[in-house]
Copies of this chain bind each other. A is one copy, B any other.
């Protein structure tokens, strides 16, 4: 009674069929975690299933969307606060839904560590798409040679006002990216400018990011950080350090050993420094899976 989805390599062998299709994938993990809190050493596991749909119009435009099953909780996928849809063609690509803003799409985050991400201290702060009230957000991208330009808007409903612009230059071995974003959701205007760069040296990839925000809760505050990924054989070692807008400074180090077939052993340690509170050392370890 069970149905098995063919892998895409098998699909290519089959005869022609309608362009529209739905792909199913998933990910899982199992392991242990300790976040230096009352829970102490704990088991951690999960499994997630995701869908990606796509089609092609008679005129050659590509359209589609993607969503994870767990994002259907509270019906979020169906009002555009989770999941996203897109249409793309020679004019570029337009996405809508839970899409990151222009600056985040161009500059992104530092490399993270651990089986679970350990609360994602490697992530930078961005102003756009900050919570479901700003969605469906929209982002437009256009690539030419090694340049990509980004333009994005939060959902303009009610008092919402947020937009971003960014560019990225990414030839083969390095990349430079610059983003600007501004929000004023019925309150003070907040600006954020952020610059990122990455470079590959043999098995090593270095990424550095610097951002500065002003207005609202920010007073010319800055955030910056550096991450390093080093690959040797099936092993990737990752380390990062970050200074958040509130001067919280966190560090992380971790490793990933690829077992093949979509499985890996992954572990990490993060030092979470909290100004005015007790610091925490978080770690996890286990097997990650992709299907």
Contact = CB atoms under 8 A, between A and B. Distances in A.
Interface in A40-75: 40-49, 51-59, 61, 63-67, 69-70, 72-75
A291 B257 CA distance: 37
Given A3-B5, A136-B45, A55 B289 contact: yes
Size range of the chain A interface in the assembly: 35 or more
A261 B55 contact: yes
A18 interface: yes
Q: How many copies make up the complex?
A: 3
Contacts of A280: none
A55 B7 contact: no
Nearest to A158: B39
A137 interface: yes
Contacts of A87: 30, 263, 287
Interface of A: 1-11, 13-15, 17-26, 28-30, 38-49, 51-59, 61, 63-67, 69-70, 72-75, 77-80, 83-87, 94, 96-97, 135-138, 153, 155-158, 259-263, 287, 289-291
9 contacts: A3-B5, A4-B11, A20-B291, A30-B85, A30-B96, A47-B84, A47-B97, A64-B291, A69-B77
